[in-house]
Amino acid sequence: MKSLTLKAPAKVNYRLDVLRRRPDGYHDLRMIMQRISLCDEITITLSDMPGIRVACGREGVPDGPGNIAWRAADALLKLSGRQSGIDIAITKNIPVAAGLGGGSSDAATVLLGVNELLGLGLSTERLMEIGVTLGADVPFFVFGKTALAEGIGEILTPIEAVPPLWMVIVNPNIPVSTAWVYGSLRLTEGRIGDNIPRFFKGVADVCAVLSNDLETVTISKHPVIGEIKEMLIASGASGALMSGSGPTVFGLFPSEEGALEAARSIGEVSGWFVTVARALV
Ligand SMILES: C[C@@](CO)(OP(=O)(O)O)[C@H](O)COP(=O)(O)OP(=O)(O)OC[C@H]1O[C@@H](n2ccc(N)nc2=O)[C@H](O)[C@@H]1O
Ligand SMILES: Nc1ncnc2c1ncn2[C@@H]1O[C@H](COP(=O)(O)OP(=O)(O)O)[C@@H](O)[C@H]1O
């Protein structure tokens, strides 16, 4: 049977400005999004037995239609009119409900993989259009490059000049609902959003844009996020920020050695999920 094994990377948001609430309840954003080397692994296998089957085996992640990867396969099967069976096995390494986009990345990877396995020949743009019907962050992972993301996250402009960066990713094992965070946000009237620079020569340039409008919402419920930021800075990070709706925090380091040392010291005292990752280019 034809099969593909693909990596589905996590993301961090170097910047997240919430511009306005839309009539459909979503929010217009301006974000800088970066894929990182922390990845889920997905094996997609075509089968003679019709139907879609997802096996993940991680607590808090559904195996059936509740899984966004299942819905991605279903969307492509319906569009193509094919009767194939699809088996999807997910090895989940990305913390769940963490602000790291794990589900969105799994869905994008299934769109790309099923398109290839079934020889559908759908363009990246078409897959991004299908992606946004599954979730606002899915088009970014189909796009596959560091990007300025606008609209609800689906209008993407590539950012070419991204320096090599190491980061320490810290997740305090508290799931956070993205819908709750957006629902609890008190928007400043007339937020225009700053002009975000698009060229980053080094870690200092990236640190200069670090900002997340959702941070105060999630920190007010989980103050430990603020403590993690302080720990990362005290351990030598050049900058630290909550990713997306949280609660995961990333700290930026110009060298791998600095990141490894910080991860070791924070991991020793905390019992949290702590790992070192690279920014993907
Ligand atoms: C905050 C961000 C930043 O990258 O990431 P995460 O923290 O989820 O990783 C994203 O905006 C999350 O995107 P995603 O998680 O794909 O969102 P969806 O599943 O489409 O929507 C989940 C919930 O968030 C709200 N939502 C999402 C995107 C957006 N631009 N405005 C919103 O108000 C929706 O109203 C919905 O109730
Ligand atoms: N493939 C998947 N991976 C992770 N979570 C999934 C997946 N499919 C559905 N979910 C559900 O989506 C919710 C958000 O998960 P996730 O994408 O990890 O969060 P975030 O958007 O904060 O990065 C979780 O509560 C989980 O139950």
pLDDT in tens, 237-260: 999 999 999 999 999 998 999 999
Question: What DSSP designation does 74 have?
Answer: H
Query: Considering the chain, what percentage of its residues have pLDDT values greater than 70?
Result: 99
> How confident is the model at residue 262, as a pLDDT?
98
HEC profile of 108-177: HHHHHHHHHHCCCCCCHHHHHHHHHCCCCCHHHHHHCCCEEEECCCCEEEECCCCCCCEEEEEECCCCCC
Whether 190 has a pLDDT exceeding 90, the answer reads: no
**Global confidence as pTM:** 0.97
**Start-end of CATH 3.30.70.890 domains in the chain:** 166-278
Using a pLDDT cut of 90, give the percent of the chain over it: 88
Q: Is 59 exposed, middle or buried (0-12, 13-18, 19+ CB in 10 A)?
A: exposed
CA nearest ligand 2 atom 26, residue: 61
Give tens-digit pLDDT for 115-125. 999 999 999 99
Q: Is 123 exposed, middle or buried (0-12, 13-18, 19+ CB in 10 A)?
A: exposed
Residue 146 has phi, psi (to 5 degrees) of: -55, 135
Place of tokens 């459909």: 24
User: Does 7 score more than 90 pLDDT?
Assistant: yes
User: For residue 193, what pLDDT band results from cuts at 50, 70 and 90?
Assistant: low
Q: What's residue 189's pLDDT?
A: 65
Q: Which residues line ligand 1 (CB under 6 A)?
A: 13, 16, 25-27, 29, 31, 99, 101, 104, 135-137, 152-153, 178-179, 182, 244-245
What pLDDT was estimated at residue 197? 81
Which residue in 33, 231, 52 sits closest to 136, CA to CA?
A: 33
**pLDDT value of residue 188:** 75
Fold of 166-278: Alpha-Beta Plaits (3.30.70)
pLDDT tens digits, 129-146: 999 999 999 999 999 999
| Dist. CA 245–CA 214, nearest whole Å | 6
Residue 196 pLDDT: 82
CATH code of the domain occupying 3-158: 3.30.230.10
Based on the residue annotation, tell me whether 205 is a catalytic residue of this protein: no
Ligand 2 center–CA 105 separation, angstroms: 10
The one catalytic residue in 17, 106, 137, 213 is 137
Q: What is d(CA 7, CA 37) in angstroms, rounded to the nearest whole number? A: 9
Residues spanned by CATH 3.30.230.10 within the chain?
Answer: 3-158
- Tell me how far the alpha carbon of residue 236 lies from the centroid of ligand 2, in angstroms: 31
Mean pLDDT score across all residues of the chain: 95
Q: Per residue in 169-181, pLDDT tens?
A: 999 999 999 999 9
202 is known to lie in a ligand binding site = no
d(CA 81, CA 76): 8
CB distance 18 to 108 below 8 Å: no
Confirm or deny that 96 is annotated as ligand binding. Answer: yes
Q: Which two tokens stand for residue 104?
A: 């969105």
Q: Can you name the residues that pair with 91 across neighbouring β-strands? A: 41
- Tell me the pairing of strands 51-55 and 85-91: parallel
Average pLDDT over every residue of 155-181? 94
The ipTM estimated for the assembled molecules is 0.99
Q: Is 11 annotated as catalytic?
A: yes
Residue 48 in this model has a pLDDT that exceeds 70: yes
Q: Per the structure block, which two tokens stand in for 47?
A: 């089968």
Residue 99's pLDDT is what?
A: 98
